[in-house]
Structure 1
Amino acid sequence: MPLIQLQPHPFTVLPAHPSLPSRPTRPGARQVASTALQEALELLNSDLPTWEKDPKARRSSPAYAEIRLSRKWRKYEQTSESPSKRKPEFWVCRQSEHPDAAVAGSASWTEFEDGLRSEHAEHEMEYTPSVTGVERLLQWTEQEIGELDMNGVTFKDVDVEAIISPRSFISFTISATYDAHSNEPSHPSKGFMTVQIPLYADRFTTPTAIYEKIKSTVSKRTIFANYASVERVAKKNRPPEPSSQSGERHVYPPLIQWTMATTSDAGGSIPQWVQRNWTLGGVPRAIVADVGLFIDWTTKRRALA
């Protein structure tokens, strides 16, 4: 069973931690982070190029960038270890490219790092109206994980935590910076990545203290949703281009490529087909709107600096 999937995992999947029961089968934080980041690389570098692409570019003011959508139904093969039938997952991805510049309609690399890499959950709460709060349940230190090398990519500054939002997602989150030792254009050489994996809490698999903390954070009538995502922000250098008149070569600022792929289920009585629908305000429209929300929030922070 993969880590990055729509079906939520019990708390038993989490790495060893002083607040969790000790089990011989419980993996270490380094092992879990490595597995999740490897799955994320495979999704972005191998799987994503095969997704069905929306021919229409989208916009999200005040961002100037074109936003491209793609989608895929991800199916899981039946194996002897997982004989139960699992429903296909509807995944949608957006990708946009922004000039690396602190100007209207865009943001600099430093602003992307400060906004999306550092304190990711808290900042998402600030620029996304639907996120009204964040509560950390567990956290693992960078020292427990160290650097991770896989398939020519070195991950550093790896953060691992379990959080809950009053929006009613319980999420296991892994984030890291990376350097890729490859000249392939589909494998950006520098960036950072955040992976969110859904969890569920019950009295049987969740430690009592954590279970009670979750109950105190949300209302009694809360319907929990499931949400999985892979997000990557990468720097892409652009080669100099000759001027059409003088022949001089102009060097343009690098592009920042922002990719986010997600699958989700809001739960409750909202039909899945509504959640997938652009016109009815489903997930594709919501993730496009997030680009404009982030650029607007960044612009306002820049003005106050």
Structure 2
Amino acid sequence: MSNASPLLFTVDALSPETYAAGADLDSLVKKLVDQALDIVVATPEWPKGKVFNAKHRVADGGPVQTRSKKSGMGGRAGKCSWHMRESVHPTEGTGLTYDDFRSGLLLDHAAHEMEYIPGLVGTKTLEVLKAGSTSVILNSYKLPMVTADRDFLELLITVDLPAHAAPLSPAHRAAIAELTELGINPSPPSTAAEAGGLRSFLVVQVPVTHPDAPEQKNYVRGAYASVEAVYEASGPTGLETHWK
């Protein structure tokens, strides 16, 4: 981190913000998490797209329902759309548990993306704002020969949400709003019963600028915002994990 300027990053996506050294990071994280939840809870109303089925095993992830919706933003972002995939993974018959998703998607999120995104050739942490949960990262992608390679500078937020009987419901969101800070639980409960409710987590990425990340030679600087919500639910065969 350069000491030449107190500016750490400027958020360009869900809500234009500037975060400077010493500012209230927890308030910014809570605001972005709340806006991310606004998006997640609205997705059942989005128009449906294709359904993709697992080619080999149910545990591979199918069926996956896709949806999309115009961004509703102003300027250039108004030409873009939100694109979503959602899937349900019952533990019975798949062997997949909520903890599997937490380990693979929440913890060490940037490093794990390298394992399942073929075009992602490099990820670099530029600034750790809160250990384990909030950082500024630079992802570099190698694209097909006819397309210029891209890199994306992102604010990455990963948070365990409090256990609740109805994850992402208005009552759950009210409980989240009462928390003074959000982050990774260092001693997470191993079951919903131990947690006293169904478990959930959220991963949010929004494009930012950063003084230590000028545009790279041979790369086009892109921008994207993403939200991943994973939560437990009761299904026909017992507990299942929803991922969207």
Residue ranges of structure 1 left out of the alignment (5+ in a row): 18-26, 78-83, 143-157, 201-205, 240-251, 260-305
Structural RMSD (CA)? 3.0
2:5 maps to none
188, 193, 196: which is aligned to 2:205?
A: 196
- 1:42 and 2:42 correspond: no
Closer/same/farther in 2, CA of residues 39 and 6 from structure 1, 3 Å limit = closer
Which region of structure 1 is more displaced relative to structure 2, 132-141 or 106-115? 106-115
Closer/same/farther in 2, CA of residues 161 and 15 from structure 1, 3 Å limit = farther
Corresponding residue SS for 1:94: strand
1:117 maps to 106
Instruction: Verify the 8 A CA contact 1:131 1:166 in the aligned structure 2.
Output: yes
82, 91, 110: which is aligned to 2:82?
A: 91
Deviation at 1:186, TM superposition (A): 5.7
5 Å matches for 1:2-151?
A: 5=13, 13-16=18-21, 27-45=23-41, 47-54=42-49, 56-62=50-56, 63-76=60-73, 87-100=78-91, 103=94, 107-141=96-130
5 Å matches for 1:203-218?
A: 206-207=210-211, 210-211=212-213, 214=214, 218=216
Task: Give the structure with the higher percent strand.
Answer: 2
CA distance in 2, matches of 1:59, 1:171: 31
TM-score (norm 2): 0.69
Instruction: Verify the 8 A CA contact 2:105 2:112 in the aligned structure 1.
Output: yes
Corresponding residue SS for 2:96: coil
CA distance in 1, matches of 2:20, 2:87: 34
Instruction: Verify the 8 A CA contact 1:69 1:95 in the aligned structure 2.
Output: yes
Deviation at 1:238, TM superposition (A): 2.4
Corresponding residue SS for 2:122: coil
Deviation at 1:48, TM superposition (A): 1.5
1:58 alignment partner AA:
F
CA distance in 2, matches of 1:139, 1:6: 21
Cα deviations by residue, 1:234-281 (Å, 9 ceiling, x for unpaired): 111225xxxxxxxxxxxx23111010xxxxxxxxxxxxxxxxxxxxxx
Higher radius of gyration, 1 or 2 = 1
2:47 alignment partner AA:
E
Corresponding residue SS for 1:129: coil
Instruction: Verify the 8 A CA contact 1:6 1:226 in the aligned structure 2.
Output: no
1:256 maps to 241
Q: What's the % identity of the aligned pairs?
A: 24
Residue ranges of structure 2 left out of the alignment (5+ in a row): 1-10, 142-150, 173-197
Instruction: Verify the 8 A CA contact 1:136 1:163 in the aligned structure 2.
Output: yes
Deviation at 1:180, TM superposition (A): 5.3
Instruction: Verify the 8 A CA contact 1:100 1:255 in the aligned structure 2.
Output: yes
TM-score (norm 1): 0.56
Cα deviations by residue, 1:264-300 (Å, 9 ceiling, x for unpaired): xxxxxxxxxxxxxxxxxxxxxxxxxxxxxxxxxxxxx
Closer/same/farther in 2, CA of residues 175 and 118 from structure 1, 3 Å limit = same
Superposition misfits of 4+ residues, deviation over 6 angstroms: none
Cα deviations by residue, 1:175-219 (Å, 9 ceiling, x for unpaired): 10112545478678421110000124xxxxx43xx13xx56xx4x
Instruction: Verify the 8 A CA contact 2:134 2:155 in the aligned structure 1.
Output: yes
CA distance in 1, matches of 2:243, 2:222: 25
Instruction: Verify the 8 A CA contact 2:200 2:230 in the aligned structure 1.
Output: yes
Cα deviations by residue, 1:61-114 (Å, 9 ceiling, x for unpaired): 44152110111112247xxxxxx78624311111001122694xx622222111
2:137 alignment partner AA:
I
- Number of aligned residue pairs: 196
5 Å matches for 1:290-301?
A: none
Corresponding residue SS for 1:227: coil
Cα deviations by residue, 1:117-174 (Å, 9 ceiling, x for unpaired): 11001011012211112100011225xxxxxxxxxxxxxxx71100001221111111
1:268 maps to none
